[in-house]
Homo-oligomer: A and B are copies of this chain.
Amino acid sequence: MKTMTDPRTMQQEADALRRAGRRLAVVPTMGALHEGHLALIREARLRADVVIVTIFVNPIQFGEGEDYARYPRDPAGDASKVQAAGADLLFVPVAAEMFGSDFQTHVSVGKIGLPLEGASRPAHFRGVATVVAKLFHITRPHVAVFGQKDAQQVAVIGRMIQDLDFDIELVVVPTVREADGLAMSSRNAYLTEVQRSEARVLHASLRSAAERIRSGDRSAPAIVGAMREMITSRSSGLIDYVSIADSATLHELVSLVSGQRVLISLAVKFGTTRLIDNIHVTV
């Protein structure tokens, strides 16, 4: 595996590989890699000749007071995991190379970025779309692999790919979970033992919502209410949002309709640690 830090060198390498007829996949990450990331790399391995993993803790997707400075970083551990998972190229740029002093161009998405995470983190998706556009230009992939755990991020990037005519296939990999259902996340490392134990309620609440829908409940507010009740009664978590929305548009729903595909999602804070999770359900 080759490691690169310079965007121009990475770009030239990617361009040469494309000219040589190779199919390229990119897996953009912020490092602190866990099994969820490795599942993305393994999926990329199945879909391309050359797998590029990027590790970059992107400053412009963190808001004021968020955890940019203390976001977990493990460069040595990450590199060996990426290699073991079968990647060919590791791209690890530094922030000063990615965002020079006169940087001033942004990619922003419209209404798909406004609810849910976008409501709680106003500049987040502008930062995500901008850095992903840059990483796409630098790594020139045919395929880009993202995790379903960041459901709205996947929707935003899909929208950007379509709207700006990126010639890139977006592949979404199911969320990888701990044995008790907690979605793997680099931020789980922040949790105390008690919080970690309580946090299992997040996935449990998503599963119980899916079960209610399967049993015929068509009232989104009633289902959301039951989820909120479950989370607050079983944990110290402070709910940021619990939502049932149309999977494609992310419009919040009231009455569910048979055949409709919905995204059930939530964000809950345990102390200073904000966790998100979601599932898609076909009603």
Contacts and interface: CB of A to CB of B under 8 A. Distances in A.
Contact of A110 (B18, B104, B133): B104
A11 B165 contact: yes
Nearest to A106: B108
A111 interface: yes
A100 B164 CA distance: 11
Interface in A136-190: 137-138, 140, 159-160, 162-167
Given A11-B167, A105-B109, A137-B166, 9 more contacts: A19-B19, A19-B21, A104-B112, A105-B164, A108-B108, A133-B164, A134-B165, A137-B164, A137-B167
B105 A106 contact: no
Contact of A159 (B19, B105, B108, B165): B105
A38 interface: no
Contact of A129 (B11, B105, B163): B105
Interface string A101-124: 011111111111000000000000
A64 to B, nearest CB: 19
B19 A163 contact: no
A7 interface: yes
Contacts of A217: none
Nearest to A133: B164
Interface residues of A, number: 33
21 contacts: A7-B165, A11-B165, A18-B18, A19-B19, A19-B21, A102-B159, A104-B110, A104-B111, A104-B112, A105-B107, A105-B108, A105-B159, A105-B163, A105-B164, A107-B107, A130-B164, A133-B164, A134-B164, A134-B165, A137-B165, A137-B166
A15 interface: yes
A143 B137 CA distance: 15
Interface string A1-26: 00000010001000100110100000
A13 to B, nearest CB: 12
A75 B109 CA distance: 33
Contact of A15 (B100, B107, B130, B167): B167
Interface in A12-47: 15, 18-19, 21
Contacts of A108: 105-106, 108
Contacts of A106: 107-108, 110
Nearest to A99: B163
Contact of A163 (B104, B111, B163, B166): B104
